[in-house]
Structure 1
Amino acid sequence: MTGTLISNASAEATLEQIRETIKEKSVELLHLQFVDIEGILKHVTVTSAQLEDVVEGKMMFDGSSIKGFSPINKSDLYLQPDLNTFAVLPWTVEEGYSEARFLCSAANPDGSPFEGDTRNVLKKTVERAADQGYTISVGPELEFFLFKNDDNGYATTELTDKAGYFEPSPHDLGERVRLEIYRALKAMGFTIEASHHEVAEGQHEINFKYSDALTAADLSTTYKWVVKTIAKKFGMHATFMPKPVFGINGSGMHVNMSFFEGSENAFFDPSDDLQLSDKAYKFIAGLLENVKSFTAVTNPLVNSYKRLVPGYEAPCYLAWSASNRSALIRIPAKRGLATRVELRCPDPSSNPYLTFAVIASAGLDGIEKGLEAPAPINDDIFHMGEEERAFRGIDNLPGSLAEAVKELEAGEIAFNTLGEHVYNEYVSMKKAEWNSYRTAVHSWEIDNYHSKF
């Protein structure tokens, strides 16, 4: 499954393959999927007999009913499927019946890209990089927790196991679920590289192969949907909430990114001490310069900032290193074509289209402006005192969603990357979310104050 643009000739060939698969697999229903501004998956279902209309972008929907999309007086939008995202859904396959899906971009009635569609936002960033001769390669790592469902199928707060990092069965009670997720993903075109239990109880990770930025975002969106769907079949609830349990590690979405110039990795230079190119250092500098102003995108929830605290392996300090996992930015050991920059703060509740867009844009800014990366920090930042961090010039990420939104508004990277429509809707949405949280009375307050005062 890919999200790359295809020529008219290859599009017709791809469409012919889709027709053959629909016939061979007895596909009756097609789910046309897209995401809202928060990255929540939506879909409308049509019959496979409507394939030609689907491919021609004739399927209309009410954009005013999608949060952050269109006003009611300009509500008509159309879905334009990416043919490369066609996939039969393996859990629907029966004798003589199955279902399939397309991931779609939203378009205006005149056929132009709808500016409120976050998939279109990422496409613009990809085009910006292409104008400078780069293709963007992204490898995301999304962690999740498994909780038990109750008898009615609703999520409880009871974890499914007490296993730890890399533990096998019988301690890892999610092993069977991960196997079924792996099989479903593989059937849908994923290349799976690793599957394992994570550090925290009930926490898991399944890694898939890197790809171009748009495909990586499509895969991330699909991955979250498949994980939740398969978990439910086992009577479990999968959550990508960053910090669902107090006192243990939260879930991250480390983003590995590199730029390619043709077939060459633009971040690799064998003559450098760290084998990093000048562009790689400038990319790192761009991230450090802009990260505080895009954290509200990569870490979008009130809950996100309960993960970004010292003591739980979450990077909250602005520094980079070639090996140090306490730094915000790490350069994994592999070099050559595998040379990449890993940003460790994003979490899996974020919209991957927006997350990859702002990261790539920040890196491009660093290259365009010739920013200079500071010296790497190879010491354990988690165990440094506040004075030492200040002396060494190590700043912090925003400590709350409110702080992050202020930083976002103070900077330029989000507005320039997201565009006016998505930026304004996103800021409004996040301010409303913070205000709802700020004015709510939480159980911690009841537990600590109700009897005492």
Structure 2
Amino acid sequence: MTDTNSTGDEWMDASVDLVRLLFVTQSGAVRTHAVEASTVDAAVSSGVPVSELVQTYNALGRRDKDGRFDAAGEVRLRPDPSTFRALPYADRTGAMLCDIETLDGDPWTVDPRSSLRSVKRDLEHKGLSPVIAFESEFHLFERLEDGETRRVDERGAYATASTRETHETILGIVDALATQDIPVKKYYPEYAAGKHEVVTGHRPSIRAADEHVLLRETVESVARLHDYHSTFVPKPFDNSTNGCHIHISLWDDGNVLYNPAREGLSRIGRQFVAGVLDNAPALCALAAPTANSYARLRPQIGAAAFVCWGQENREALVRIPAPDPDDSEGSTRLEFRAADNTANPYLALTGLLAAGLDGIQRELEPPEQLGVDPGSLSASERTRRDIDRLPRTLGQALDALAANETMRDVLGSELFETYLGVKRSHWESFTRSANSWQRDRLRRVY
């Protein structure tokens, strides 16, 4: 399995007039420049200029004015021709994913996609090829004339009735993904009203992240074609969440996580899990990177709140899914459950793979697996078992990231500091607005 989708130049025969050049910033937002189809070859060979400042805007669209970049300075989007897709939801339009390079043609040290490629190479030097799948959750809703919102179906709880009103929309999403060579392995209405989950196929690391970006674009675009809105926000409504579970396996001649001698993971697989657990607080800053993310990471709501792992345990940070009895080796994997769709997928995967590699290099041994909901244990029992709470706020996660040398090393100082600056500006914007809200409420009471 390769990271690329094709050999390139399909846009020449795809009847498109515009090609969107997609990239993801530190905020996790998908950005684009579009070029006319006849200029795509020039864009591929020479790149398309873009301001360095684009990488300093947080999720609220505010620039980190204390960041590393000023108004002067440009880099180049370098579209990857192997990622070209004609977009079935946008007339005469295609898309490509991009690396970002300096004006001299070198990889830009702040580019998240290039960062993932670097850690992928580190794993390949050890003979390991990561294979990834994303489980993406989202909500469909309508905006009413009075400004309120209505979730499209009200049943929830995996009810078949929840599939009926949105059936044509979901079919449209599945068909649009298939047209882009993104196979949907599973779909179902999720626990909450209006919530849906799409599981795409396992892919090599960079291609998996590219296709996750295309999935986000597809869901939002097809929903609008059906007069709905969609949201991937981690806590979009009361009593409702959206996650993005990330499944990882490692391959050499076979799946090196697989232990043919007995149930469970191999020694390397256990070391990988140990590395993820050891770096978990810092990983949250990359995989759950908005203030809203921490409204989701709470006990006993099917997300993750504690640093632990377990076979088939959906309240553990790392779950080991039950293998397919007809393909135990091929289906052995681990699932990281704290991630959500506000993450830059390239950075989330970079952090996860680096954490696992750290565990392998240090030959770490994970703690005992947990076979119960950690939220059902007493605080003293969790202490006895060394089960720590994940960060409760983005601020705490960013402090953990700032102190984590593994993440600093894999990201490099320039990307590491740029990301921290953008996310701290997001956190500060949130805390300022929260303080204003509290003052207003207290004035009404007192």
* Residue of structure 2 in register with 1:57 after alignment: 46
* Residue of structure 2 in register with 1:101 after alignment: 95
Q: CA separation of 1:60/1:443 partners in 2, compared to 1, >3 Å: closer, same or farther?
A: closer
- Of 285, 291, 299, 1:310 maps to 299
* Higher RCO structure, 1 or 2 (CA under 8 Å, sep 6+): 2
Alpha carbons 1:210, 1:216 under 8 Å: kept? yes
Amino acid at match of 1:365: D
* Residue of structure 1 in register with 2:62 after alignment: none
Is there any run of 5+ residues in structure 1 with no aligned partner, and where?
none
Amino acid at match of 1:149: R
Using the TM superposition, give the Cα deviation of residue 439 of structure 1 relative to its aligned residue in structure 2, in angstroms. Answer: 2.1
Q: CA separation of 1:115/1:151 partners in 2, compared to 1, >3 Å: closer, same or farther?
A: farther
Using the TM superposition, give the Cα deviation of residue 56 of structure 1 relative to its aligned residue in structure 2, in angstroms. Answer: 0.9
Alignment partner of 1:269 is 2:259: yes
Q: CA separation of 1:164/1:3 partners in 2, compared to 1, >3 Å: closer, same or farther?
A: same
Give the 3-state SS of the residue equivalent to 1:371 in structure 2.
coil
Alpha carbons 1:194, 1:208 under 8 Å: kept? yes
Using the TM superposition, give the Cα deviation of residue 237 of structure 1 relative to its aligned residue in structure 2, in angstroms. Answer: 1.7
Alignment partner of 1:110 is 2:101: no
Question: Any residues of structure 2 matched to 1:22-421 within 5 Å, and which?
Answer: 22=14, 26-67=15-56, 71-72=69-70, 75-93=73-91, 98-150=92-144, 156-169=148-161, 172-246=164-238, 248-262=239-253, 264-272=254-262, 274-334=263-323, 335-421=328-414
Give the 3-state SS of the residue equivalent to 1:265 in structure 2.
coil
Alignment partner of 1:438 is 2:431: yes
Q: CA separation of 1:434/1:92 partners in 2, compared to 1, >3 Å: closer, same or farther?
A: closer
Q: Deviations over 1:323-352 (max 9, x none)?
A: 222211111111212210111111111110
Using the TM superposition, give the Cα deviation of residue 173 of structure 1 relative to its aligned residue in structure 2, in angstroms. Answer: 2.6
TM-score, L = length of structure 2: 0.91
Q: Deviations over 1:369-390 (max 9, x none)?
A: 1001111111222211222211
Alpha carbons 1:258, 1:339 under 8 Å: kept? yes
Q: CA separation of 1:132/1:170 partners in 2, compared to 1, >3 Å: closer, same or farther?
A: closer
Q: CA separation of 1:70/1:394 partners in 2, compared to 1, >3 Å: closer, same or farther?
A: closer
Tell me, in whole angstroms, the C-alpha distance in 1 between the residues paired with 2:347 and 2:133.
15
Using the TM superposition, give the Cα deviation of residue 413 of structure 1 relative to its aligned residue in structure 2, in angstroms. Answer: 2.4
Using the TM superposition, give the Cα deviation of residue 3 of structure 1 relative to its aligned residue in structure 2, in angstroms. Answer: 4.0
Alpha carbons 2:27, 2:422 under 8 Å: kept? no
Tell me, in whole angstroms, the C-alpha distance in 2 between the residues paired with 1:140 and 1:27.
29
Tell me, in whole angstroms, the C-alpha distance in 2 between the residues paired with 1:58 and 1:411.
34
Alpha carbons 1:250, 1:307 under 8 Å: kept? yes
Give the 3-state SS of the residue equivalent to 2:119 in structure 1.
helix
Give the 3-state SS of the residue equivalent to 1:90 in structure 2.
coil
- Of 405, 422, 428, 2:415 maps to 422
Q: CA separation of 1:214/1:422 partners in 2, compared to 1, >3 Å: closer, same or farther?
A: same
Amino acid at match of 1:90: P
Tell me, in whole angstroms, the C-alpha distance in 2 between the residues paired with 1:279 and 1:172.
45
Tell me, in whole angstroms, the C-alpha distance in 2 between the residues paired with 1:170 and 1:340.
30
Amino acid at match of 2:104: D
Q: Deviations over 1:371-422 (max 9, x none)?
A: 0111111122221122221122211101111111111112112211222122
Tell me, in whole angstroms, the C-alpha distance in 2 between the residues paired with 1:409 and 1:64.
22
Q: CA separation of 1:308/1:90 partners in 2, compared to 1, >3 Å: closer, same or farther?
A: same
Q: Deviations over 1:277-307 (max 9, x none)?
A: 1000100110111111221111101111111
Amino acid at match of 2:235: K
Moved more, 212-221 or 232-241: 232-241
Is there any run of 5+ residues in structure 2 with no aligned partner, and where?
58-66
Using the TM superposition, give the Cα deviation of residue 209 of structure 1 relative to its aligned residue in structure 2, in angstroms. Answer: 0.2
Give the 3-state SS of the residue equivalent to 1:235 in structure 2.
coil
* Residue of structure 1 in register with 2:444 after alignment: 451
Tell me, in whole angstroms, the C-alpha distance in 2 between the residues paired with 1:261 and 1:170.
42
Tell me, in whole angstroms, the C-alpha distance in 1 between the residues paired with 2:419 and 2:53.
15
Tell me, in whole angstroms, the C-alpha distance in 2 between the residues paired with 1:301 and 1:450.
28
Tell me, in whole angstroms, the C-alpha distance in 2 between the residues paired with 1:439 and 1:243.
20
Give the 3-state SS of the residue equivalent to 1:229 in structure 2.
helix
Q: Name the Cα RMSD after superposition.
A: 2.3
Alpha carbons 1:32, 1:43 under 8 Å: kept? yes
Give the 3-state SS of the residue equivalent to 1:92 in structure 2.
coil
Using the TM superposition, give the Cα deviation of residue 428 of structure 1 relative to its aligned residue in structure 2, in angstroms. Answer: 1.2
Moved more, 29-38 or 170-179: 170-179
Give the 3-state SS of the residue equivalent to 1:193 in structure 2.
strand
TM-score, L = length of structure 1: 0.90
Residues paired across the two proteins, number: 433
Amino acid at match of 2:73: S
Moved more, 72-81 or 225-234: 72-81
Alpha carbons 1:2, 1:85 under 8 Å: kept? no
